[in-house]
Chain A
Amino acid sequence: MRIVVLVKPVPDTASGGERLRPDDWRLDRQAIPTVVNANDEYALEAALKLTEAHGGEVVLVSMAGAGAPDTMRKALAMGAASGALVTDDALAGSDIVSTARVLAGALRDMEYDLVLAGADTSDGGAGVVPAGIATLLGLPYLSYAAKIEPNPDAGTVRVNRITPTGYEVLEASMPALIVATQALGEPRYPSLKGIMAARSKTLETKGLADIGAGDAPVGGAVATTAVLGSEAPPPRAATRVIREPADEAARQVVEFLAERRII
């Protein structure tokens, strides 16, 4: 099996330094170190397990700034075979539509059985780019996967899709695009051999022209969304602590919730 995993370098939230630039409200990506988006690591882990079980290899595809290779090497260290990075000055300020167009463009000439994506990214957080890609490429779209069972002989894949009440079982023909969830299992730590090997793996950098999208309507100039402002959420109201015996405390909690029609 050949599986493409979409990965995005995002600001390391552990660094605590993320900020938006005051002039255009875009994320200041120079200011802090980047890491592989955590949800993408779950997708990568799922993909690696699938190729370990069924053979084949995992390939990374990313759209990001020119500094992304260092971050992508960390994903290669986990076990992906190679990677492709689409980076172009024209892509600064891209919105969801642009991102989906570019990634779909990058995938168009590739061969794969599955595309796996993380549920959303910790910076943008829209969570709809994979759906956009599937639509543009005409791929079956299987979201919120808690379990992925490919049947390479039949050319189909079966997914347990998480719903608010449980899960539904979806089956589609391959190639298909699957959105991974954390229910698929914790991402592995890269082994030292993986880290050493990652340094010599192929990481191809492509511009828009290289993926046949030289004149595609993408980037900040054609963005259909714009951030108009940013403010911190209001501070949380004072916490009310009920210090009564359990019965009385429970009664008061129920009353509090009922007054607000929460229960």
Chain B
Amino acid sequence: MASSTPPPASSESHPAPTYRLTEDQLALRDAVRVLAADRIAPRAAEIDRTAEFPWDVKELLASHDILSLPYPEQYGGLGGDLLTVCLAVEEISRVCATSGLILAVQELASLPLLLAGTDEQKDRWFPDLAAGRKLIAFALTEAEAGSDVAAARTRARRDGDGDGADWILDGSKRFISQGSVADLLAVFAVTADDDDTPRHERLTCFIVDKDMPGFGVERIEHKMGIRGSPTAELSFRGVRVPDANRVGGVGEGFPLTMRTLDRSRPGIAAQAVGIAQGALDVAAAYARERTQFGKPIAEFQMIAAMLADMDAQTEAARQLLYKAATEIDAGAPDASRWSAMCKLVAGDTAMRVTTDAVQVLGGYGYINEFPVERMMRDAKITQLYEGTQQIQRLVIARALTARR
């Protein structure tokens, strides 16, 4: 019988589509999982209680090359793809969302340099960032410019004439994750606000060093969750920034933030999936051991059904995240859509699963003897930062309606 099946495509020109992680990815994920369980999990409750940045965890992540994952190999990085970075964020966040954010923020704030930085700029900053000797934060949001990024008021003006003249920064930034512990900040400032300049051509990105005169940390917010991650209000009072610290072209900051967020939102989705899985781990273990009416509560159908839904929802969010990361890495033209969808689904899943985990544990879930109340508080932020869920829906809907 003649076969109509076409010959298999060469694996070189068409790599076989796979829904499985590679051996490298599995090995790295397992290594991070063991490290997180042994070394970070025992610190999580204290990090939350004291609301102090866990420098020891940052050192741990640096010494095990986890912070080097997002950077190219020539700068001392591991050259990990986006999916691999997400696997690491997920595994760390499974035990401690604050700790997972250390890697996620380091990646987020390095993306402008990765996407638009010159070779010289990468040479200058990436080795220290990859080694974890320096931390970097992403300073975009302002008090009056949240979802409306282009409404930023922080100004950068040239001091003198010529293309190479220094810049003077004035203004303030709010809700900057790790803004008070970072050595470097990727700051977005308005370089043109005349009526002739379109709103989306007004921003420019600069790398500010925390030691530059005029830079200050005004205060640290008191937060519901991710309490060990300091969220800072920053001020810039006549901060002189050399033109060599400008990332990308003048006026190209807004599209750069969008491209950055396309790649960074999966990191937050990974944090959300990790939080959900961590809460499910605790809830399932508790339901097996907790006995009421003479049997483990896991054997009651109402509890069993909750656990099953939590597992299915977490896995669904995870698979969308892995697919999104893979598509974005492959240069998909609809990266914004994938990025927004995975953050939307994972954030909502984390909130729902952690809330249910508290329910499974009953009164014990509401007290800090068990970690699920912390996880529920931590989950909320994943619906808010790097674009609220409403912004994600906006991005998705725009991609949908823009199609012909």
Residues on A close to B: CB < 8 A? 77, 189-196, 199
Contact = CB atoms under 8 A, between A and B. Distances in A.
A189 B61 CA distance: 12
B65 A191 contact: yes
26 contacts: A77-B31, A189-B34, A189-B35, A189-B38, A189-B64, A190-B31, A191-B65, A192-B28, A192-B31, A192-B32, A192-B64, A192-B65, A192-B66, A192-B68, A192-B69, A192-B78, A193-B65, A193-B68, A193-B78, A194-B65, A195-B27, A195-B28, A195-B31, A196-B78, A199-B24, A199-B27
A194 B35 CA distance: 14
A38 to B, nearest CB: 14
Contacts of B65: 191-194
Could you say which of A191, A192, A195, A199 has the most chain B C-beta atoms within 10 Å of its C-beta? A192
A193 B68 CA distance: 9
Given A190-B31, A192-B32, A196-B78, 19 more contacts: A189-B31, A189-B34, A189-B35, A189-B38, A189-B39, A189-B64, A191-B64, A191-B65, A192-B28, A192-B31, A192-B65, A192-B68, A193-B68, A194-B65, A195-B27, A195-B28, A196-B24, A196-B28, A199-B24
Contacts of B24: 196, 199
B43 to A, nearest CB: 15
Interface string B245-282: 00000000000000000000000000000000000000
Contacts of A191: 63-65
A15 B342 CA distance: 34
Interface string B78-98: 100000000000000000000
A35 to B, nearest CB: 11
Interface in B1-56: 24, 27-28, 31-32, 34-35, 38-39
Interface residues of B, number: 16
A235 B117 CA distance: 68
Contacts of A77: 31
Contacts of A194: 65
A194 B27 CA distance: 11
Contacts of A190: 31
A192 B66 CA distance: 7
A195 B64 CA distance: 10
B28 to A, nearest CB: 6
Nearest to B84: A192
Contacts of B31: 77, 189-190, 192, 195
Contacts of A196: 24, 28, 78
A64 B27 CA distance: 22
Nearest to B78: A192
A194 B34 CA distance: 15
B59 to A, nearest CB: 13
B142 to A, nearest CB: 36
Contacts of A199: 24, 27
B84 to A, nearest CB: 9
Interface string B124-154: 0000000000000000000000000000000
A189 B64 CA distance: 8
Contacts of B28: 192, 195-196
A193 B130 CA distance: 12
Nearest to A199: B24
A29 B24 CA distance: 25
Q: Which of B27, B28, B32, B35 has the most A CB atoms < 10 Å from its CB?
A: B27
Contacts of B63: 191
Contacts of B35: 189
Contacts of A192: 28, 31-32, 64-66, 68-69, 78
Nearest to B39: A189
List the 3 closest pairs (A to B, CB-CB), nearest first: A192-B65, A193-B65, A191-B65
A10 B31 CA distance: 19
Nearest to B79: A196
Nearest to B63: A191
